[in-house]
Amino acid sequence: MNTPDTLELRKEAAVLHKEEPVKKFVFSFKEGDGKNKQLLGGKGANLCEMTQIGLNVPPGFVISTEACLTYLANPDHLLPAGVLTQVNEQMLDVEEATGKVFGDAENPLLVSVRSGSALSMPGMMDTILNLGLNNKTLRGLINQTGNERFCYDAYRRFIQLFGKVALGVPDEKFDKIFEDVKRKAGVKLDIGLSTENLQEISERFLQVVREHTGRPFPEDVYEQLEIAIKAVFNSWMGKRAIDYRREFNITPQMANGTAVNIVAMVFGNMGNDSATGVAFTRDPGTGENIFFGEYLVNAQGEDVVAGIRTPKAVLQLKEEMPDLYRQLEELRDKLESHYREIQDFEFTIEKGVLYCLQTRNGKMNATAMVRTSVEMAKEKLISKTEALLRLKPETLEQLLHPRLDSLHKTTPLAQGLPASPGAASGQCVFDADRAELLGRADHKVILIREETKPEDIHGFFASQGILTSRGGKTSHAAVVARGMGKPCVAGAEGIRVDVKLRQAKIGERTLHEGDFITIDGGSGFVYQGVIPTVEPTFSDELKTLLQWADEVAQLKVMANADTPEAAQKALNYGAMGIGLCRTERMFNAPDRLPIVVEMILANTEEERLVALNQLLPIQKQDFKEILTTMAPRPVTVRWLDPPIHEFLPTEDELREELAHLRHLKDTASGVTNLFNSFRLLHAYDEDTKAALPFNEKGVELIDQAIVKKEQMLKKVHDLYEVNPMLGHRGVRLGLTYPEIYKMQVQAVLEAAAECQQAGIDVRPEIMVPQVCNAEELVQVKAYVQEIKENIEREKEIKLVFKFGTMIEVVRACVTADELAKEVEFFSFGTNDLTQATFSFSREDAENKFLPLYAEKNILHNNPFEILDVNGVGKLMKVAVEWGRKSNPELKVGICGEHGGQPDSIRFCHQLGLTYVSCSGPRVPVARLAAAHAKLGEAKNSSL
């Protein structure tokens, strides 16, 4: 609504706008700031930088992301003032540099119009090649090059790309014509098409555009340019781009708008002395320092990526064009030493001249990242610090991905190129929409395509792995899968995909949608069925890197492990000790549970002691093994925590079992009576009579079982709690049934004593759960002390151990000064502490309202996954400060699940904790995160 006031305001704004000097939106490659990716996009900034360090980049310029955002905000779809004038000025420069003229009939200049935002989003936005062709310039180009075939090839590409990207003509319309002409001409590959074929294709393409848009294809080259620039800008708000940004959490701070790069065309399709390719300065699959890439002779850029033909390995260029290969190697070296990072670059050779068309930091899987980090640091290309910071801690998780069990004897169905390592099994699907549908329904699927396109991206997210029948290691499928850390086999040429029939043929065999297959992205093999996988092993490079991390880090990284086997595994992951050993897990083994049940059912202390004395040697043996495995590292043992009724069956289960037993008793009594009747007839069988439970003895046993179950039922009743989470558990159990904790203390300290006597340097640390009050600790400590003294006297040794408490109750945080006087260490149990701080029970929260809270932006993160720094974190801070004030020697750690999460680890570092403890497989991630926390100190001194 335009009230007089707003009208005034708008007039004023218009005047202001007029008076403002026109902004600089366009930068030539010679002047653009190579560091300003926000403004110029990654591609544009690097084109500038490469030009400025003297690499052979075709002349061109960048239109800034600022222009894009201004344009997108304009309701009239007008380019911001000044853009077109500045573009025209730059075009003059490009004309001068190339000696060609845009739109000229004699010597036409052609350009590409390319997108590129601050973050590389492979294949997310479209590029238009050969712009500037029309009827007139086409003739000129033919006269000039004398290569009619090449010209029509360029023309049909331009019409298709421009038609699709700028005018919205569906790709299939072009593809159909293309395939039709190919079939009629009886050729399989694009290069088999004759000049006449390409001419026919071009003409039919123009016709398609006319039909679809109701207007002839634009002949004015400057009109083409303007439409193309707008189309690239618009692609920023296209569905594909938006989906991609959402999936990878790309915020406007990271990338806002796309730049447009206008680049003079160079042609890889001018004959057999021309080529185009994509290369990595090192192998992005393994990280090995070898030149890695692919090229196609007589082709244009997008052919390699789109997987139209299967390209050749770059090493082959050494034979085909030795001099250019040497130049290419030189380019590789220059790029790497300048950027000090693995580069993924595009090149084109036009009639024997090499051009570089793009470079960016290479996306690699974790294996390659680790190896290149270590090797580049050793080569002194980067520092150790840079080597560590290069890797996001989470990426290490990929290394913990399973591989195929090498013992499997299955013969492969097909083989393609090993395009992204890792093994995956799943059901076949042949298009991205089906993959998404089945993936959402929790099916494991493998997406099988002839080749993938950016439109398939949602299918990638839903799949375990990708299999294509065309394309190389730098094809779209390979690049995207590597970026996502998903296994990919590309170019498995034996597979013929039929999307309509939802099947694929491999030789005689047919794979239908839903059939299981396994792909191995490390070898390129494809197998029928599900093949078992094995745990990965650590490479030497990973060991080195983590060792560097440990040298830097301040935090120690411990593991949560409850059994000797888990302890060994944790040690293999590089755990520096055990931060949480949950003793209840030791109670649950099938041979122990009956004893635990006896202990719980006991009505008197004596009865309970009988059971506990049976458990003592078993637990002691466990502790001995764990302590020995970890020696001389600390092992933190937590006393029994859950409410004891968790070891008993539920009331419903018991009622059902009782009903069953009573029924059994009736039957058994009946049969017994029957046998007794047989005896009267002297017709019974000695053997049968002996078989339980069909005799008096059997009935007696059933009776005993019934009595026991009834006892249990009564106990379950007695132990019933309205809210067990806040009930009779942890130290409260330890104080009401001290015998239980005493047995555990006895087991650990005896185990430690025996290890010590055997000369093993063990470091037990015992900790009490659920403490809310210093007096609880005082009372527990009294009997720990007594047991300790007894053992020391008996064995004539001095025991070495620590006594500590969990901090997982809000009151414990705020009375930390009092608790700290009684203990040598604190360990934050942030799972319970989070529940207590929010008054959320985790299961209910995660199942019922947390998703909604995230959606409504009430709680951004799930606090059970990412430590709630503002709330739980403040309590932790208070506890650390107050605790250390009354006990400066206090050791403080965290053993909740957050202990393995990089953001939370950074927070723990800032709090000055001594250690974090997490699950075994997270240990490598946590070690690197701990180093990052230390290295990022300067940046994050916000606490």
> Which positions are catalytic?
476, 895
Dist CA 887 CA 212 (whole Å): 79
For the CB of residue 218, give the shortest distance to Mg ion in the complex, in Å.
25
Of the ranges 87-95, 230-238, 297-305, 735-743, which one interacts with ligand ADP (CB under 6 A)? 297-305
For the CB of residue 306, give the shortest distance to ligand ADP in the complex, in Å.
9
Residues 122-141 that bind ligand ADP (CB under 6 A): 123, 127, 129
Dist CA 864 CA 866 (whole Å): 6
Alpha-carbon torsion 94, 95, 99, 102, what sign? positive
Could you say which of Mg ion, ligand ADP, none residue 808 binds, taking C-beta under 5 to 8 angstroms by partner kind?
Answer: Mg ion
Q: Residue 683 corresponds to which tokens in the numbers above?
A: 């017709």
Nearest residue to 357 via CA among 654, 163, 690, 127: 127
Cβ atoms of 526 and 494 within 8 Å: the answer is no
For the CB of residue 347, give the shortest distance to Mg ion in the complex, in Å.
11
For the CB of residue 649, give the shortest distance to Mg ion in the complex, in Å.
24
Q: Residue number with the shortest CB distance to ligand ADP? A: 301
Return the number of the residue (114 or 788) whose C-beta is nearest ligand ADP: 114
Could you say which of ligand ADP, Mg ion, none residue 469 binds, taking C-beta under 5 to 8 angstroms by partner kind?
Answer: none
Integer CA distances (angstroms), 337 to 15, 328, 561, in order: 50, 14, 45
Residue in 95, 226, 273, 302 binding ligand ADP, rule: CB under 6 A: 302
Of the ranges 264-272, 401-409, 514-522, 619-627, which one interacts with ligand ADP (CB under 6 A)? 264-272
346 contacts ligand ADP (rule: CB under 6 A): yes
Could you say which of ligand ADP, Mg ion, none residue 829 binds, taking C-beta under 5 to 8 angstroms by partner kind?
Answer: Mg ion
- Mask for 698-737, x = binds Mg ion (CB under 5 A): ----------------------------------------
Return the number of the residue (266 or 542) whose C-beta is nearest ligand ADP: 266
Of the ranges 121-129, 285-293, 523-531, 584-592, which one interacts with ligand ADP (CB under 6 A)? 121-129
165 contacts ligand ADP (rule: CB under 6 A): no
Total residues contacting Mg ion by CB under 5 A comes to: 4
357 contacts ligand ADP (rule: CB under 6 A): yes
DSSP state string for 368-397: HHHHHHHHHHHTTSS-HHHHHHTS-GGGGG
How many CA within 13 A on the CB side of residue 366? 23
Residues contacting 752, CB < 8 A, separation 6+: 623, 627, 762, 764, 799, 800, 801
Burial of 596 by CB count in 10 Å (0-12 exposed, 13-18 middle, 19+ buried)? buried
114 contacts ligand ADP (rule: CB under 6 A): yes
80 contacts Mg ion (rule: CB under 5 A): no
Cβ atoms of 422 and 522 within 8 Å: the answer is yes
Could you say which of Mg ion, ligand ADP, none residue 602 binds, taking C-beta under 5 to 8 angstroms by partner kind?
Answer: none
For the CB of residue 106, give the shortest distance to ligand ADP in the complex, in Å.
21
Placement of tokens 């500038």 in the chain = 48
Measured in whole angstroms, the distance separating CA 178 from the mean position of its chain's CA atoms is: 39
Nearest residue to 345 via CA among 66, 14, 42: 42
Could you say which of Mg ion, ligand ADP, none residue 422 binds, taking C-beta under 5 to 8 angstroms by partner kind?
Answer: none
Dist CA 851 CA 339 (whole Å): 42
Residues 800-819 that bind Mg ion (CB under 5 A): 808
For the CB of residue 294, give the shortest distance to ligand ADP in the complex, in Å.
11
Dist CA 668 CA 692 (whole Å): 9
Q: Residue 303 corresponds to which tokens in the numbers above?
A: 């052919």
Of the ranges 250-258, 261-269, 286-294, 557-565, which one interacts with ligand ADP (CB under 6 A)? 261-269
Residues 822-861 that bind Mg ion (CB under 5 A): 829, 832
Total residues contacting ligand ADP by CB under 6 A comes to: 17
Other Cβ atoms less than 10 A from the Cβ of 874: the count is 13
Terminal alpha carbon distance of the chain: 48
Dist CA 426 CA 414 (whole Å): 16
Nearest residue to 869 via CA among 823, 822, 837, 915: 837
Q: What angle do CA 281, 375, 385 make, to 5 degrees?
A: 110
Return the number of the residue (187 or 306) whose C-beta is nearest Mg ion: 306
Phi, psi of 460 (to 5 degrees): -60, -45
Return the number of the residue (123 or 311) whose C-beta is nearest ligand ADP: 123
Could you say which of ligand ADP, Mg ion, none residue 391 binds, taking C-beta under 5 to 8 angstroms by partner kind?
Answer: none
Could you say which of ligand ADP, Mg ion, none residue 285 binds, taking C-beta under 5 to 8 angstroms by partner kind?
Answer: none
932 contacts ligand ADP (rule: CB under 6 A): no
Return the number of the residue (234 or 830) whose C-beta is nearest ligand ADP: 234
Dist CA 170 CA 217 (whole Å): 15
Return the number of the residue (145 or 554) whose C-beta is nearest ligand ADP: 145
Residue in 300, 358, 805, 830 binding Mg ion, rule: CB under 5 A: 358
622 contacts Mg ion (rule: CB under 5 A): no
Burial of 719 by CB count in 10 Å (0-12 exposed, 13-18 middle, 19+ buried)? middle
The conformation of residue 218, written as its DSSP 8-state character, comes to P
358 contacts ligand ADP (rule: CB under 6 A): yes
Residue in 263, 324, 575, 895 binding ligand ADP, rule: CB under 6 A: 263
344 contacts ligand ADP (rule: CB under 6 A): no
Q: Residue 387 corresponds to which tokens in the numbers above?
A: 């080597």
Q: Is 632 helix (H, G, I), strand (E, B) or coil?
A: coil
Cβ atoms of 241 and 235 within 8 Å: the answer is yes
Cβ atoms of 345 and 363 within 8 Å: the answer is no
**Residues that bind ligand ADP in the complex, under the rule CB under 6 A:** 58, 112, 114, 123, 127, 129, 263-266, 301-302, 305, 346, 348, 357-358
